[in-house]
Structure 1
Amino acid sequence: MKKNNNKTRTTLREIAQKAGCSVNTVSLALRGSNRISQQMRSRISKIAQDLNYTPNYAAQNLRNQRSGIIGVYSAVIRDAVRTELINRLLQELHTAEYRPMLGIEQDINDIQGNSTWMETFRLLNVEALVVIGRIPMELPGWTHQIPVILLGCEPDETLPCDYLALDRAQAARIGVEHLIARNHREILVACELEGDFGHGCIETIRRSRCKLHKLPMEKELYDPQESRLLGYTLSRQSRGPTAAIFNDSGLAAGFMCGIMDRHGRVPEDMAVIGYDYFPWADMLAVPLTTVEQPIESMVTAAVELVRKRLAEPSAPPIHIVQPHNLVIRKST
């Protein structure tokens, strides 16, 4: 097919005429929408390329009086959960006819007036802002004029914005109840006991009249090598917990390695469960049982929150708490 060498810009209508479909179908296909078949998307993309089509975002924004940009704001990506969540969210927002922009900050809890990303979002006239973080932070004053959706925060009915929360105490209860159902009565809670996850573990263990074991010196673990040393040390003891729950699946994996370093057996000598989506769980020597964030459903719900809030800006805040998934593997 001969390329269009005219100076005038190729329009969606011209592409639609060549493809034998509607302008709306072309628009959705060029944005990668799953509502259009892969075959039709490929055909339209080829026609657009042959016609040297380039989208006129400025005209779209002026015509619609909207930017189409959704800001996504997160702390530095260091873990599998945040990586998977952000990857899927960006893809889903783009497929849903928005243009996501990701801003990464070293510390998102200190952004009041100090964040260059916040200024960038403001200048680009974002239509909504999705903030990924556990603890709600104070946002700049201009964000009161646009929808803010919190993703992954703790449940808090007093928050004046939409959120999709994770109840980490509930995740802890799921994990401990699974261990108790496996007849474990002495359980090591390998995390900070003052946090929501720790409280959930303690509450469930005491309610079930089981014995709580704490970390030596109640020192919190931060590195898999530390948890590996803990596993090695505990495997040398003749008495102690028969199961352990961690608030980080990476730490749980290190702990199992330490047990096996001493030729201990998982789960026969020590059952282990971790909290967090962990893509390598099935690849470990003993696949790790995990309580996981439902990332796929979280992303779908978050995009739907964006849609609803843009459609009804004055509606009351929508608060959703996502249930966790228990993925049982050989470690328990």
Structure 2
Amino acid sequence: MRDIARLAGVSITTVSHVVNSTRSVAPETKAKVLDAIEHTGYTGDVIARSLVTGGTRSLGVAISLAANPELLRAIEHETTRAGYTVVLADTHDEPDAEQSAVRTLRSRRVDGLVLTPSPRASGTALPQLRTLGIPVVLLDRLTTSQDVDQVGPENVYATSGLVRHLADLGHRRIGMITGATGLATTSERVLGYRLGLGRSRLTWDESLVVPGTPAEAALGLLLELVSPPTAVVAGDNTMLSGVLRECRRRGVRVGVDLAVVGYDDVEWAELLDPPVTTVAQPIAEMGRTAVRMLLDRIADPARPPVTKRLPTTFIHRRSCGCP
């Protein structure tokens, strides 16, 4: 800062005001300081400043980098708009990697953290963050606990709607290939599947619900039943891609031999032949909402925890057998 002050012909105090926006500085003086900063390549020591201010103006995001790019873009945009920066750590959707990611973000002294818990990771990172008093918002994969901020899509009625649509088309044997076990989203979508059966006056058959690990093998089990399903609900986009891959391998015509629908819309769903009927999550809005909730928590640590469920959209295409 002394070098910058000397180069710009101003006091160190003036440089500080320009860098930290602590006081208005005359435009021509500010321009000289900014030119000197550009010339010297100066960058502030965020970690050192955090020891004084108590914050780094940065938000940590612990999430699998295989997540929807639209989600990551929305988080980055909303964070930048609020004057913060994003520090991203990949959980690889594994509990140990999640712990490591959270430790990395803590070492960066982030002001708060957006977390998408990995499967079977309950009892690890989240309780640790609570104990340390670090502001956190759960994204997408919610917990039944009411003591943490969280935002995610509506899962139960959305999945129920997929089942009822298939039932309205005359299907009586509707299978489901679920997402990863140990996730609240998986449990909620299975609950929605059961609700859809009940509302369509169809009987629950445990053999028609198979965990998709992988989805190709799960679909094989369903198709080899004595009385196989005529329609299948895929629990997420990974399951959907596996189902479609296995249909192609077996020569099963989607929308003709087997109706297929899925929870979670993806770009390629409308490009296939036939295009795939799905439930679309409000991906971008989930990301923006998570950031806003985290900033609210940082500003007011004592406020009651909030859970937000965002509505989904039924995207009707032709893989369900409709013209």
Q: What TM-score comes out, normalization by structure 1 length? A: 0.71
Q: Which moved more, 1:305-314 or 1:56-65?
A: 56-65
What is residue 67 of structure 1 aligned with on the other side? 56
Q: Are 2:202 and 1:210 aligned?
A: yes
Q: Are 2:131 and 1:121 aligned?
A: no
Q: Which moved more, 1:11-20 or 1:55-64?
A: 11-20
Per the alignment, in what secondary structure is the counterpart of residue 130 of structure 1? strand
Q: 1:204 to 1:249 in 2, by over 3 A?
A: same
Paired with 2:36 and 2:70, the residues of 1 have a C-alpha distance of 31
Q: 1:297 to 1:224 in 2, by over 3 A?
A: same
Q: 1:49 to 1:211 in 2, by over 3 A?
A: farther
1:19 Cα deviation after fit:
12
1:219 Cα deviation after fit:
4.8
Q: Are 2:148 and 1:161 aligned?
A: yes
User: Identity across aligned pairs (percent)?
Assistant: 26
Paired with 1:71 and 1:322, the residues of 2 have a C-alpha distance of 22
1:67 maps to a residue whose letter is T
Identify unmatched segments of 5+ residues in structure 1.
Answer: 27-46
- Cα RMSD (Å): 4.1
Q: How does 1:38-57 map to 2 (within 5 A)?
A: 54-57=42-45
What is residue 191 of structure 2 aligned with on the other side? 199
Q: Are 2:132 and 1:151 aligned?
A: no
Per the alignment, in what secondary structure is the counterpart of residue 211 of structure 2? coil
Paired with 2:249 and 2:6, the residues of 1 have a C-alpha distance of 71
1:256 Cα deviation after fit:
3.9
What is residue 275 of structure 2 aligned with on the other side? 287
Cα deviation, 1:46-82, whole Å, max 9, x if unaligned, reads x8996666442548646744211211113x43x454x
Q: Is contact 2:59-2:86 (8 Å) kept?
A: yes
Per the alignment, in what secondary structure is the counterpart of residue 164 of structure 1? strand
1:140 maps to a residue whose letter is Q
1:98 Cα deviation after fit:
1.0
Q: Are 2:22 and 1:17 aligned?
A: no
What is residue 39 of structure 1 aligned with on the other side? none
Q: Which of 172, 181, 189 does residue 176 from structure 2 map onto?
A: 189
Q: How does 1:1-332 map to 2 (within 5 A)?
A: 7=7, 11=18, 17=27, 54-58=42-46, 61=50, 64-74=53-63, 76-77=64-65, 79-81=66-68, 83-106=69-92, 109=95, 115-133=99-117, 136-137=122-123, 138-140=126-128, 144-154=132-142, 156=144, 158-191=145-178, 195-212=187-204, 215=207, 219-226=210-217, 229=220, 240-259=228-247, 264-332=252-320
Paired with 2:311 and 2:239, the residues of 1 have a C-alpha distance of 23
1:301 Cα deviation after fit:
0.8
Cα deviation, 1:228-269, whole Å, max 9, x if unaligned, reads 6568768xx9x7533211113343344345445666543243
1:122 maps to a residue whose letter is R
Cα deviation, 1:14-46, whole Å, max 9, x if unaligned, reads 99836999x9xx9xxxxxxxxxxxxxxxxxxxx
Cα deviation, 1:274-297, whole Å, max 9, x if unaligned, reads 122322112222111112321111
1:145 maps to a residue whose letter is G
Paired with 1:291 and 1:264, the residues of 2 have a C-alpha distance of 23
Paired with 1:182 and 1:15, the residues of 2 have a C-alpha distance of 69
Paired with 1:132 and 1:326, the residues of 2 have a C-alpha distance of 24
Paired with 2:29 and 2:316, the residues of 1 have a C-alpha distance of 49
Identify unmatched segments of 5+ residues in structure 2.
Answer: none
1:72 maps to a residue whose letter is V
Paired with 2:38 and 2:76, the residues of 1 have a C-alpha distance of 28
What is residue 43 of structure 1 aligned with on the other side? none
Paired with 1:226 and 1:49, the residues of 2 have a C-alpha distance of 60
Q: Is contact 2:254-2:260 (8 Å) kept?
A: yes
Q: Is contact 1:164-1:319 (8 Å) kept?
A: yes
Q: Is contact 1:187-1:211 (8 Å) kept?
A: no
Count of residue correspondences: 296
Higher normalized contact order (CA 8 Å, seq sep 6+, divided by chain length):
2
1:131 maps to a residue whose letter is L
